[in-house]
Structure 1
Amino acid sequence: MIGYQAPQARLVSVKYAGYKFEVVDIDSYKIDQLLVTRIEPNVIDKPALES
């Protein structure tokens, strides 16, 4: 077909238990590649040490 463009893939990600899981590649109905990244806690979220 002239002028046909395939739909753009969506990046799917989930944050759980201090990690971020991102689907990088899907082959048909199967996840082919998954990127797992540890999420560092923000400095603001850390409790201050009392002297």
Structure 2
Amino acid sequence: MNRVVDFAKRRLGIDIQKEKYAYDLDEQYGWMAKAKIPDHWVATTCGYCSVGCGM
């Protein structure tokens, strides 16, 4: 029964799924999506061309 109610809430746009889309404070970069906070940050390329020119 609970699954049916949850499904109906999502379909009607009432449930905002706050657990899934919660924010948290990352020590290095500030507020960001809790699901996206890594265990540790690593240096990498910018992603524009992925060559690693140091731009």
**TM-score for both structures, normalised by structure 2:** 0.24
- The one of the two structures with greater contact order (alpha-carbon pairs below 8 A, sep at least 6) is 1
Larger helix proportion of the pair: 2
**TM-score for both structures, normalised by structure 1:** 0.24
Larger strand proportion of the pair: 1
